[in-house]
Amino acid sequence: MMSGGGYTNIANQNVSGFVPAVSGPDYTSVKVTDSNLHTFPPSEVKGKIAGVFKPPSDADDTFSKQDNGNSAYTQQSGWMHKFTVDAYKLYFDVDTSDVLERIRESLLPFKSSFMEMTANNPDLYGPFWICTTLIFVAASIGTFLTYLAHKFQNKEWDYDINLVTWSAGLFYGYVASVPLGLYIVLKYFSAPLGLVQLWCLYGYSFFIFIPALCLSVVPVEIFRWVIVGVAGFVSACFVSLNLRAHISSAGRRWFLIVVAIFLLQLGLAAILKFYLFTVTV
């Protein structure tokens, strides 16, 4: 400030408060919107891990486009999209607690709540690893039993790679083809079940065979029959009872479909008995 023809040192003044901003002709008002960064995870996240849209709840729209403009995941249209990884990564969006809970449900066949539990989130992660574990366990147990049998009989033993290929063809082939055939039959009768739901159901139904195969090392034939019988019965009841309520729309033929499903699972157990449980030590 100028005072008496000179300048007053502003540093010597006791300035309190602040100088308010005065709007001039060049002043522009800026409006700042509220930030949502404090919210974690964001409210629009759909999945548990990837944050993408969850699989559809029912089956005829299993592979249909469900983006609706809210998902971070954008699907391609057309049949070619079904041959891409993006078309199936939604069905691997589960965590350990989900898989363990579904395994627990597979061991309680009379509860019949598995289809309702997985209706909005069927997964292929659990079925894939259950089948893969079964292949390893079946090949390992079968190899171990044949090794012991040859050793006790003082015979030369050679590793049989066919146990691995046979187990892989059996488990992967069964869990892929039987649900696919059932899906075609149910679609003919207009029963509302999805292909991924069926794959999920059948995949988890195989878990009971893992401890059964491990117990087959006991060299008692009657014990092996009991083990394979219990495992086959639990697996068959788990599949048939969970499907019973969902295929009743097929009319009077629904009972025949349920019986066929039950017998197919028992047939799988019989195959395991005659090809893996009959090795004598």
* pLDDT, tens digit, 9 for 90 and up, residues 102-152: 999 999 989 888 988 888 889 999 999 999 999 999 888 878 777 777 777
Q: What is the pLDDT at residue 81?
A: 64
**Co-location of 73 and 192 in the same domain:** no
**Co-location of 154 and 107 in the same domain:** yes
**Co-location of 144 and 270 in the same domain:** yes
Report the distance separating Cα 134 and Cα 208, nearest Å.
10
Burial class (CB in 10 A: 0-12, 13-18, 19+), 161: exposed
| DSSP β-ladder status, 6-7 and 2-3 | antiparallel
Report the distance separating Cα 58 and Cα 56, nearest Å.
6
* pLDDT, tens digit, 9 for 90 and up, residues 161-193: 777 888 899 999 999 999 999 999 888 887 778
Give 122's Cβ-side CA count (13 Å radius).
Answer: 25
22 inside domain: no
Assess whether pLDDT exceeds 60 at residue 43.
Answer: no
* pLDDT, tens digit, 9 for 90 and up, residues 215-224: 888 878 899 8
Residue 3 phi/psi, 5° resolution? -140, 120
Kindly report the average pLDDT of the chain as a whole number. 75
127 inside domain: yes
**Co-location of 103 and 213 in the same domain:** yes
Give 75's Cβ-side CA count (13 Å radius).
Answer: 24
Q: What is the pTM of this model?
A: 0.69
Assess whether pLDDT exceeds 80 at residue 79.
Answer: no
Name which of 83, 116, 88, 86 is nearest 102 in CA terms: 116
Report yes or no: 34 and 43 within 8 Å, Cβ to Cβ: no
Q: What is the pLDDT at residue 178?
A: 94
**Co-location of 222 and 272 in the same domain:** yes
**Co-location of 146 and 251 in the same domain:** yes
Radius of gyration of the chain (CA): 32
**Co-location of 216 and 266 in the same domain:** yes
**Co-location of 74 and 101 in the same domain:** no
Q: What is the pLDDT at residue 63?
A: 45
Of 81, 108, 129, the residue that ends a domain is 81
Residue that the structure tokens 């390992």 belong to: 140
Report the distance separating Cα 115 and Cα 62, nearest Å.
15
37 inside domain: no
Q: Please give the average per-residue pLDDT across 92-106, as a whole number.
A: 91
Residue that the structure tokens 């395994």 belong to: 103
56 inside domain: yes
Counted domains in the chain: 2
Report yes or no: 120 and 57 within 8 Å, Cβ to Cβ: yes
**Co-location of 58 and 102 in the same domain:** no
* pLDDT, tens digit, 9 for 90 and up, residues 10-27: 444 444 444 455 555 554
Q: Specify the higher pLDDT residue, 59 or 108.
A: 108
Which residues constitute the domain of residue 49? 44-81
Angle between helices 195-205 and 125-152 (to 10 degrees): 30
Bond prior to 127 in cis (omega within 30° of 0): no
**Co-location of 131 and 70 in the same domain:** no
Report angle CA 205, 254, 243 to the nearest 5 degrees: 25
2 inside domain: no
**Co-location of 143 and 221 in the same domain:** yes
